[in-house]
Amino acid sequence: MKYISLLGATGSIGTQTLELIREHPGHFRLAALSAGKNIDLVRKIIEEFEPKLVSVQTKEDADTLRSEFSSKITFVHGEEGLIEAAVYKESDIILNAVIGSVGLTPTLQAIEAGKTIAIANKETLVTAGHLVMGAAKEKNVEILPVDSEHSAIFQCLQGEDTKEISRLLITASGGSFRDLNRDELQSVTLEQALNHPNWSMGSKITIDSATMMNKGLEVIEAHWLFDLEYEKIDVLLHRESIIHSLVEFHDSSVIAQLGTPDMRVPIQYALTYPKRLALQSAKKLDLTEIGRLHFQKMDMDRYRCLQYAYDAGRSGGTLPTVLNAANEAAVHAFLERKISFIRIEELIEKAMERHEIIRNPDLSAIREVDRETRQFVHTLL
C-alpha cells in the first residue's frame, strides 16, 4: 500500500490520480491533499477518499471545511498548508500536480523530509531545477517524472546507461494552432486556443501547448531530470501524440515509448515504479487503427517560445525563472481576456531582454526574480 500526498487534487492531473486510487484501492491510499479554490470538489474528494490532512488556498475555506467535517481531519491553508500536505508524515510519495512555481517550496520541503517525489509540476523544475535536483541528490530522494514525454524517456532509459545517450527527441503535437501561420495567429480566440487536438488538460498547459512554451518548459525539464546538455535535446513535431518521446543512443539505436494519449499511464508508472500495475480502463494502442504517424522538423521562427526556452535554458542562472514567471503572468492575462494570444510571446521576450542574470541563485533570489518579473509583466498589460 502506498500513501500519497496529492498536491493539486482538484486539477486535471489531480483528478486522474484520484481515478487511479479509486481503481486500485488495494495499492494506493490518499493520505493528504492540497487544492486551490474548488471547494465543492474538495468536499466530494474528502467524502470519497477520507484523507487525514487537507490544504486549501484561503483561511476562510479551511475554516468552513473544518466546521463541516470530522475533527479527525486536519485542515490547513495557504503556502504553509501546501508545505504541510507535502511533508505529511504518513505519506510515502508526493504527487506534485499544482500549477506554476507555487509548487517549488513544497517540493524542496518534501525532499528535505526524504519523501519520494512524482513530479508533474514542470514549472518547479524550470524555475529552480538546480535546487531541486541538487537537494534530491544530497538527500538521496527519487524524482520520478509524470509529464508524458519525460515518463516516456524514463521508461526508455530503464537498464540503460545515460552516458550512452546521443540525443533525446521530445515529441510535440503542435497544439491548437499547428496548422496556422504566424499572421493567422493574430486573430485567434481563447476558445480556439483551449481546444487541444489530442489531450484534455488544465487551461494553463493547454495554452502553453498552443504557444509551444509547453515544449520549451519540457526541454528545460528534461535537461534537469536526465542531466543532459541542451545540444542533446531536440523537439520533433508529431501530430498524433502516440509516440511520447524517443531516446537515440550512440550506437544509433533509437528506443521510443508509445501509447494512446492517456495521462493515467505515466501517473501510474510514477506511483508504482519500478513495477507496473494492470490498468484495465486504459485503451490499448492499435496501430492498424491509426494507420500512419506523422513527423516534421520544428520551425523555431514559427514557434518563438520554444527558442526563448532554449535561450533561457542555455543561459541558465535566473533567466529560466524569468521565462517561466513571465509566461505564467502572460498566460493568466490571456485566460482573463486581457491580451491577445500573440502578445504572450511578446511579453516573455520583453521580460527576458531586460533581465540581468543572477548566477547560481538560491531560493530567495528565485522567489524575488519570480515576483519582480510578474510585476513587470503586469505593468505592460
Ligand X SMILES: CC(=O)[C@@H](O)[C@H](O)COP(=O)(O)O
Residues annotated within a binding site for Mn(2+): 147, 149, 218
Of 53 and 212, nearer to ligand X (C-beta) is 212
Is 214 a binder of ligand X (CB under 6 A)? Answer: yes
For residue 252, the minimal CB distance to ligand NDP (Å) is: 30
> Which residue's entry shows cell 510535440?
172
Phi-psi region of 317 (alpha: psi -120 to 50; beta: other; left: phi over 0): left
Query: From the CB of residue 158, how many other CB atoms can be counted at a distance below 10 Å?
Result: 9
Q: Which residues bind Mn ion (CB under 5 A)?
A: 147-149
User: By rule CB under 6 A, what count of residues binds ligand NDP?
Assistant: 29
CA distance 256 to 243: 7
CA distance 333 to 378: 9
For residue 147, the minimal CB distance to ligand X (Å) is: 5
Is 240 a binder of ligand X (CB under 6 A)? Answer: no
Where in 141-160 is the site for ligand NDP (CB under 6 A)?
147
Is 170 a binder of ligand NDP (CB under 6 A)? Answer: no
> Which residue's entry shows cell 470530522?
70
Is 215 a binder of ligand X (CB under 6 A)? Answer: yes
Candidates 173, 211, 257, 327; binder of ligand X (CB under 6 A) is: 173
Stretch that binds ligand X, among 98-106, 170-178, 224-232, 328-336 (CB under 6 A): 170-178
Query: In the beta sheet, which residues pair with residue 249?
Result: 165
Is 263 a binder of ligand NDP (CB under 6 A)? Answer: yes
CA distance 67 to 47: 14
Using CB distances below 5 to 8 A depending on partner kind, what does residue 172 bind out of ligand NDP, Mn ion, ligand X, none?
A: ligand X
Query: In the beta sheet, which residues pair with residue 165?
Result: 249
Interface mask (CB under 6 A) for ligand NDP, residues 8-47, using x and -?
A: xxxxxxx-------------------xxxxx---------
The amino acid sitting at 77 is H
Of 147 and 248, nearer to Mn ion (C-beta) is 147
Is 283 a binder of ligand NDP (CB under 6 A)? Answer: no
For residue 214, the minimal CB distance to ligand X (Å) is: 4
The amino acid sitting at 361 is P
Where in 202-231 is the site for ligand NDP (CB under 6 A)?
202, 204-205
Query: CB within 8 A of 232, min separation 6: which ones?
Result: 165, 166, 167, 168
Candidates 61, 84, 123, 147; binder of ligand X (CB under 6 A) is: 147
For residue 90, the minimal CB distance to ligand NDP (Å) is: 21
For residue 215, the minimal CB distance to ligand X (Å) is: 5
Q: Which of 293, 272, 268 is nearest to 148 (CA)?
A: 268
Is 55 a binder of ligand X (CB under 6 A)? Answer: no
Is 123 a binder of ligand NDP (CB under 6 A)? Answer: yes
- Burial of 43-72, coded b for 16+ CB within 10 Å and e otherwise, reads eebbeebebbbbbbbeeebbeebeeeeeee
CA distance 106 to 112: 10
CA distance 159 to 157: 6
DSSP letter string, 91-144: -SEEEE---SGGGHHHHHHHHHTT-EEEE--HHHHHHHHHHHHHHHHHHT--EE
User: By rule CB under 6 A, what count of residues binds ligand X?
Assistant: 12
SS3 206: helix
For residue 65, the minimal CB distance to ligand NDP (Å) is: 12
Is 172 a binder of ligand X (CB under 6 A)? Answer: yes
User: Rule CB under 6 A: which residues touch ligand NDP?
Assistant: 8-14, 34-38, 57, 82, 97-99, 102, 120-123, 147, 199, 201-202, 204-205, 263
Which residues in this chain contact ligand X in the complex, by CB under 6 A?
Answer: 147-149, 172-173, 175, 199, 205, 209, 214-215, 263
